[in-house]
A and B are shown apart, each in its own frame.
Chain A
Amino acid sequence: MPFHFANVLVFAAIAILFVLGSLVGGHFLRPHNPTAEKEMIYECGEKPIGQAWYNFNPRFYLIALVFVIFEVEIAFMYPVASVYRSFIEKGQGMLAFLEIFVFVAILAVGLAYVWAMGDLEWVKGLKQDVLKAAREAREQPRKAA
């Protein structure tokens, strides 16, 4: 039946009209008396300091990324732990153990790599090879020109 599609169309039309209607209605009904404090950028009640557009250090994201991986690890291991007994009863305890061991081993190698590469250090300098590559890249277009 084409009826199904008509349902969706009506639903979409009502949704759009509702948003437009409430915005337009609000515009005419609300009082309008701006003050300097109201115009200020909302920063959870604090007064904003300086510009929002500046470079900031992404190191927090690196740590957070590594953290999320291990959080997911817990999320995956918990269900296995809760049904592990039934695996043992079926005589497949070793299989379940090996599977989860492989899973943890893969993440452990990842952690070791991140650690050895110094990505867990909170304060770090630019590595020499990165600096050199950046210098070369800057000089390369000049040579071509």
Chain B
Amino acid sequence: MDNLASLRFFLPESILTVAVLAMFVQDLLTRRSARRVVYLTAGALVWLAIVAFATLQMPAGTASLFGGLLQHDPLRMFFTWVFLGATLLTIVIAPNSGQISPNRLGEFFALLFALVLGMYLMASASDLLTIYLSIETVSLVSYVLTGFRRGDRKSNEAALKYVIYGGVASGVMLYGMSLLYGLFATTRILGEAGIAAQLSDVTSRIFLAHAFGGQPAAQLALIVAIVFVLAGVGYKIASVPFHMWCPDVYEGAPTPFTAFLSVGPKAAGFAVAIRFFFATFERQLPDGAFAQVGDVPWPAIIGIISAATMTLGNLTALVQTNLKRMLAYSSIAHAGYLLMGLAAASAAGVQSILVYLVIYLFMNVGAFLVVIAVANARGGEQISDFRGLSVAAPVTALTLAVFLFSLTGLPPLAGFTGKYLVFAALVQRGGFWNVILAVIGVLNSAISLFYYAKIIKAMYLDEPLDRTPMRVPRLYTGLLVALAVPLLVFGVYWGPLVRWASTAFGGPTPI
């Protein structure tokens, strides 16, 4: 589709661009106003509503935009709703969090919209260049927002570490992309001369084999290229061995942004990974199943990374005493669980990832919201600061218990649904290694119960730190309940969620 016709499918992104500029202008216009926090929050919510409306109006079906740079399909639309949810929660949480100065709230919202724009692009990128550019857009804004508290040493340190690790990861990814370009002489993934078409075309496979001294050499080059491209994606979703930035950044960044970072960019990273692997190396058969193309063992690579990621994340989380750091390691572990769905290399696997991400949005943002509430009232984020929370703030403690049990994956909470679907997809796919991976996942869930339960023990069984009722803003209490209730509902009634995911991927419409 040519550029002008594509603009219709690019409307939410265009509006987001305008929203970024509008937030900056509004920030300047309301500088002297005493009620600027209210005006700015209202402005951000209005712009988000307009973007959501434009997203809602998007035509169904698939289309290739801007000559193959972007792809419009149900998968993209699914992810945009996850992004919008995470953004809405962040906009509502940020003004009261006490971590973002009212003078810089407009700047925060403007940068947040720029980040959402990058994530929208990540969800639809179908060209190596747009994949790289969209990941960089998200990364650059993330660096700034991580170091948003300029006077705070931890925030500065986190931002610097994030930049350095990010630079290395994106360099490695670019190298992988240059290898892919060397092999296929194109940056397009889809389309007539795209990488996917070349891989499934027998004559070009023979050409590849000739050009690189037989099949093994060409295959080796391809595998190296994929592993390198995975560096960029793995960095965004915080998988081993690109997870090192995660604990420091989660601890140092302003907590509302940490909550956003743990959900939004992670989901966007999975959008890129799903599109890249399934569009390039898989072909959907008429009966809906996927067949591999090009003999690249990508599910095995992802499986190994997945096992390493969840094991390392869970074992390191065991010894943490700062709750934000513990949640960082737990989010690394969850990246591992999510990768299991990708390693299944089936439609069911991807659908389980989509369902898991929606559930993860609720439970993880909820857990961080409690961290904000407790840090504001008690001045700390250590587990010891949570002692006796059940006495001082019963509702907050109860909702945190729901979030943590859901993160563990205990029935009847929604976390169990997500994990069950991921494990089921692996076992359904069959094969010795897939079952082994599922067993590793189950064992990891058991380990994770230990550190999540540590917090619950502190809240309910330990000697209270302070018996006087803790002050929690009414807005936060409402939000916590609003986040906890869906977890209880989706734990027993996940049909609609699964149906929604199946329309997004592998259902009647191919990717």
User: Residues of A with Cβ closer than 8 Å to B?
Assistant: 1-5, 95, 105-106, 109-110, 112-113, 116, 129-137, 143-144
Contact = CB atoms under 8 A, between A and B. Distances in A.
Interface residues of B, number: 23
Nearest to B154: A137
B24 A144 contact: no
Interface string B133-158: 00000000000000001111110000
Interface of B: 4, 17, 21, 24-25, 27-28, 31, 101, 103-104, 149-154, 211-213, 217, 379-380
Contacts of B25: 109, 112
Given A1-B213, A129-B103, A133-B101, A116 B150 contact: no
B28 A2 contact: no
A112 B152 contact: no
Given A109-B25, A113-B24, A2 B152 contact: no
22 contacts: A1-B211, A1-B213, A3-B213, A4-B212, A4-B213, A106-B21, A109-B21, A109-B25, A112-B25, A112-B28, A113-B24, A113-B27, A116-B28, A130-B151, A131-B151, A132-B151, A133-B151, A136-B151, A137-B149, A137-B151, A143-B379, A144-B380
B379 A130 contact: no
Nearest to A109: B21
A144 B152 CA distance: 15
Contacts of B24: 109-110, 113
A129 B21 contact: no
Nearest to A3: B213
Nearest to A2: B213
A109 B20 CA distance: 10
Contact of A137 (B103, B153, B211, B380): B153
A133 B152 contact: yes
A112 B380 CA distance: 39
Contacts of B213: 1-5
A78 B65 CA distance: 27
B21 A137 contact: no
Contact of B101 (A95, A129, A131, A144): A129
By Cβ-Cβ distance, the 5 closest A-B pairs, closest first, are A133-B151, A134-B151, A2-B213, A137-B152, A109-B21
Contacts of A110: 24
